[in-house]
Amino acid sequence: MRSVVGKSLPLADRTASASSHEPDFMPDITPHPNAQDSARERAITLSTVITRRNSHSLI
């Protein structure tokens, strides 16, 4: 009996926590695309710097 209760309780807790946290995460998701864009820009700049360094080293 204890094993069955232990397995059923975490599922109920997960669903309750997910439903309660959904409205909290909605406003947090909006600024993330900007962060992803900045991360992409940083990755692009890093790749350009690496390619420039490689081209200079090859020359």
pTM of the model: 0.33
In this predicted structure, what is the pLDDT of residue 10?
A: 53
Task: For residue range 29-51, list pLDDT tens digits in order.
Answer: 555 556 667 888 888 888 888 88
Task: For residue range 8-26, list pLDDT tens digits in order.
Answer: 555 555 555 555 545 555 5
In this predicted structure, what is the pLDDT of residue 38?
A: 81
Amino acid occupying residue 8: S
**Domain range annotation of the chain:** 2-58
At residue 39, the 3 state secondary structure works out as helix
Q: How far apart are CA 43 and CA 40, in angstroms?
A: 5
More confident residue, 44 or 57: 44
**Long-range CB contact pairs, 29-36, < 8 A, 24+:** none
